[in-house]
Amino acid sequence: MGQPPISDYGFLSDCRSGALVGRNGSVDWWCPDRFDSPSVFGRLLDPGAGHWWLGPLGPSRVQRAYRPDTLVLRTVHHTAEGSVAVTDALAAELGARGHELGMNSPAVLLRVVEGLSGRVRVGLEFAPRPEHGLLTPYLHEQPDGSVLATAGPVALTLRGTGLRLRADVDRVRHEFEVGPGDTVGFDLAFCRPYGTPPVRLDPVVALAETVQAWEAYRETHGYDGRYAPQVRHGATVLTGLTYARSGAVAAALTTSLPERCGGDRNYDYRYSWLRDFAMTLRALWVAACPDEANRLFAWAARSIGRIGAAPVPVMFGLEGERDISEHELDHLRGYAGSRPVRIGNDAWRQRQLDVPGEVISAVWRLHDYLGETFDEELREMVVGLAEQVASTWRLPDRGMWEARDTERHYLSSKVLCWTALDRAVALAPRLGERADAPRWAVIRDEIRETVLRDGWNDRIGAFTGAFGSAELDASALLLPMLDFLPATEARMRSTIEAVERELGSSRGLVRRWSTDPAGFVLCSFWLVECLVMAGEQERADRLFQQVLGHANDVGLFAEQVDLRTGTQLGNMPQALSHIGLINAAWRLTEPATD
């Protein structure tokens, strides 16, 4: 069983942690404590880093689909002997409904096998390797037929209904047969070895409860616009990437899946980015409800804390941790040999001048729901961010793509500095006596003049990625989306055309810059939005449908798509890709009113 393509994986979530299960029936990624905790199954990043395979012993033809409005995945294997279905889920708390989803997830992985036709031999191989593959656990057979795996800070209990499981030295192997109507359930429960015992669930009952919990959650969220099935599924994926206890949305489930196989641009995305904040809130507003948006906003305000002279970090841990320093796992080979494998992300140390613009823009989006008078913490945050922009906007930074070479005067960073002060001026009546709207307005106008003068390249006929650069960058598409310039303005229209011509592709995908090895899904949806705003609705529709076609068979997007092969690349599933889908669908629905 070789390493599958990234697009072969389906996503399971309990809004505390997430797992990836391949078309071949192998769970190759699970960090059970929370999204950014160490894995117990890590074969995604190394063949020896742990997995749990369950499926027919012979060759099979596979059909997969999520139960509607859930992250419960049903895979049907058609073999020469008959057909069998495996349904996978991370268990919801029994009785959880609506916004209780994920608040007290039991950290149990459920797998239920159903015989559909014929007699099919099914195999199981359970080989956990905690601490990202550093540990090989002791396996203890229990009197009830289960197996307890213990190593370091991890205890896992695997049970199969009606089965007595036997342990080899370092793994459990088992075979059984199912016929029409037969059901065999498995539950794998995680706990700390020195804490409370693991939760014990009936897998069939728990699976039904989990389906009901997801369905009840989605019933509270309405969307009546175009592409409703895709938007609802995208919103479900976003919910699955939400750490329910805090409201933070993880950028992706995984770490170190490469932007180019064999390359070294392999980063840990299991954290929450302030840069993505306004786009995420807009998507939650469109496809979810204000509760999710408000909880995410509250997490951000608490994580940022009191603002001083130091730049606000671009990202935080899921409970607001600031220091998420990066290190490499030298013992792992990496996906398709792509090393290094990184844990943590040192971009948190970078100066990112666009971050205040994202946060203040999000406050502006929510201002009608935050009251006529903001509380002290909110006032201090907005004023502090505005003052930070006013004093630092002339500095270079690393840019929204988090360059690790040198700082530059990036166009998108300057425009978001303008956005920060533009929205702060509009919010000034709610910010108290410390708000200095007249001074902010003067600086805002100075930033605008600077961008229009230094961001435009006459030779290229476009706004470029950085001042003085001839390099196109898809982030220039943000200008009309941030209301800096109309999409119909001559220079902006020329920029949109240049990006589409030079960074676009026959697959409908847009690269971030000319040497980018793959199409960036979010940028492709940005182009859809810009075309709508430029009055080209039909072209935008065609492009949207073309980009949708790059999702995998269960509607998931990674970060990027290889332009030559069409295969997905980067961390999976990627929140920004689904955010881009939702926002572009809404733009297609309400082009003039969003």
Question: One digit per residue, pLDDT tens: the chain, 594 residues?
Answer: 458 999 999 999 999 999 999 999 999 999 999 999 999 999 999 999 999 999 999 999 999 999 999 999 999 999 999 999 999 999 999 888 877 888 999 999 999 999 999 999 999 999 999 999 999 999 999 999 999 999 999 999 999 999 999 999 999 999 999 999 999 999 999 999 887 888 889 999 999 999 999 999 888 777 889 999 999 999 999 999 999 999 999 999 999 999 999 889 999 999 999 988 889 888 988 886 667 777 888 898 889 988 888 889 999 999 999 999 999 999 999 999 999 999 999 999 999 999 999 999 999 988 887 778 888 888 999 999 999 999 999 999 999 999 999 999 999 999 999 999 999 999 999 999 999 999 999 999 999 999 999 999 999 999 999 999 999 999 999 999 999 999 999 999 999 999 999 999 999 999 999 999 999 999 999 999 999 999 999 999 999 999 999 999 999 999 999 999 999 999 999 999 999 999 999 999 987 555
> Tokens 């844990």 sit at which residue?
343
Q: Are 233 and 218 in contact (CB under 8 A)?
A: no
Q: Are 510 and 527 in contact (CB under 8 A)?
A: yes
Any bridge partners for residue 63, and if so which? Answer: 76
Number of other residues whose CB lies within 10 A of the CB of residue 539: 15
Name the DSSP class of 91: P
Distance (Å, rounded) from C-alpha 245 to C-alpha 443? Answer: 39
How would you label 105-137 residue by residue, b for 16+ Cβ within 10 Å and e otherwise? bbbbbbbbbbbbeeebebebbbbbbbbbbebbb
Distance (Å, rounded) from C-alpha 568 to C-alpha 11? Answer: 15
- Pairing of β 183-191 and β 108-118: antiparallel
- The whole model's pTM is what? 0.96
What residues have CB less than 8 Å from 536, skipping those under 6 apart? Answer: none
Distance (Å, rounded) from C-alpha 543 to C-alpha 527? Answer: 8
**What is residue 288's predicted lDDT score, i.e. its pLDDT?**
64
Spans of all domains in the chain: 6-219
Which has the closest alpha carbon to 390: 435, 454, 429, 327?
A: 435
Distance (Å, rounded) from C-alpha 448 to C-alpha 308? Answer: 25
Would the CA dihedral through 416, 417, 420, 426 be positive or negative?
negative
Q: Are 126 and 141 in contact (CB under 8 A)?
A: no
What residues have CB less than 8 Å from 442, skipping those under 6 apart? Answer: none
**What is residue 22's predicted lDDT score, i.e. its pLDDT?**
97
Would the CA dihedral through 127, 572, 326, 359 be positive or negative?
negative
Q: Are 285 and 368 in contact (CB under 8 A)?
A: no
What residues have CB less than 8 Å from 501, skipping those under 6 apart? Answer: none
What are the DSSP calls for 317-373, one per residue?
-TT-------EE-TT---GGG----EES-GGGGS--TTHHHHHHHHHHHHGGGS-SS
CATH placement of domain 6-219: 2.70.98.10
**What is residue 1's predicted lDDT score, i.e. its pLDDT?**
40
- Containing H/E element for 579? helix 575-589
* Tokens standing for residue 562: 């290889």
Please tell me whether residue 28 adopts helix, strand or coil conformation. strand
Any bridge partners for residue 510, and if so which? Answer: 520
* Tokens standing for residue 555: 């509607």
